[in-house]
Amino acid sequence: MKQIKGPAIFLAQFLRDDPPYNNLENIGKWVAGLGYKAVQIPTWESKVIDLDKAADSKTYCDDLKGRLDALGLQITELAAHLQGQVLATNKVYETAFQPFYPKGLSEQERTEWATDQLKKVITASVNLGLKSVPVMSGGFAWHMVYPWPQRPEGLIEESFAELYKRWQPLLDMAEDNDISISYELHPGSDLFDGATFEMFLEISDEHPAASITYDPSHFILQQLDYLEFIELFAERIKSFHVKDAEYNANGLVGVYGGYQPWIKRAGRFRSLGDGQVDFSRVFSLLTEYDYDGWAVLEWECCIKSPEQGAREGAPFIANHIIETTDVAFDDFAGSETDTQLNRKILGLDS
């Protein structure tokens, strides 16, 4: 069996204007000091990467790796969640998503900008020797997830056709470069659970590059069986966010949250170990199915500080990584094959 790598940390939730969170060197020293061995880099954050240079220059990428290596860190992946969301954006969400892309773009220009960004992320990943690009799919039909009146016939099919049309050239480019596009199945995107991912696989003719960033926290909030999900989609899981959550419904709120702040919702993101995810089983299943990528902390919590969450996250992940065995526990009882003995045990030694 293969072994999961870690602990690693996604930098997006920790970057700020103040040290030690304000540039790659400072935040790198901080996370290395906490026990992390690698970082997942958000490609929309100029504090930690110049995406244009990373796509254009192997020398820049070698220097980037060298600076992190000097701190005892590797790069797990270049994350492109925001660019993926912008690639396929219903006009309803233009204003809400505007901080994710340059101002003043038309719908076509916005799509072209996101496509160009994602191509740069793929090229930069090649330059860095990485194999997976975590993204969100974006989408057009999320506002129809629980519709009234009912959805018109063919609406979802039309949404997925357009979604694949926008992603196909990127999936093809990724496949040509032996890279996976790993969708984080996330409410707000059209790919948000196992069924929608299966629909995408069907319309894409099982595209080899269409993969998954596994994050059990989003499944807790949807009340989806996050363990069976691993068994169903193990071969497509190419990235892993270690993120905890809890679901405690009451007489006021359920899955939809009642427009309440995070602290008052039934489904809430929590720091590792404070929620309901059975990480012992998650790590066991991923190991059984030969996932050998990184276990990356994505910290979000409605109660605990990010500093405490980061401090506790590294040992939590390290303690859950399984050192896989090359021997069976009952090998001591084994022996060379003896056909005559075996037939005797089976009652076949007439």
pLDDT tens column, 111-166: 999 999 999 999 999 999 999 999 999 999 999 999 999 999 999 999 999 999 99
pTM for the model stands at: 0.94
Residue 238, helix vs strand vs coil = strand
| Distance set, CA 191 to CA 88, 135, 144, 221 (Å) | 11, 11, 13, 15
Which residues does the chain have with pLDDT short of 70? 327-335, 350
E strand residue ranges, the chain:
5-10, 38-42, 74-79, 132-135, 180-184, 210-214, 237-242, 244-247, 267-270, 294-297
φ, ψ dihedrals at 144, nearest 5°:
-105, 20
pLDDT digits (tens, 9 = 90+) for 283-310: 999 999 999 999 999 999 999 999 999 9
The token pair at 104 is 């003043």
The token pair at 264 is 């008052």
The token pair at 15 is 């970057």
> Residues 72, 30, 181, CA angle at the centre, nearest 5°?
65
| Domain residue spans of the chain | 5-345
- Residues near 17 by beta carbon (within 8 Å), at least 6 away in sequence: none
What's the pLDDT at 350? 66
What's the pLDDT at 1? 85
What's the pLDDT at 330? 61
The single-letter code of the amino acid at 52 is D
What's the pLDDT at 344? 86
- Please check whether residue 44 is in contact with residue 82, taking contact to mean a CB–CB distance below 8 angstroms: yes
Q: What CATH fold (topology level) applies to the domain 5-345?
A: TIM Barrel (3.20.20)
How far apart are alpha carbons 345 and 114 in whole angstroms?
Answer: 66
What's the pLDDT at 326? 75
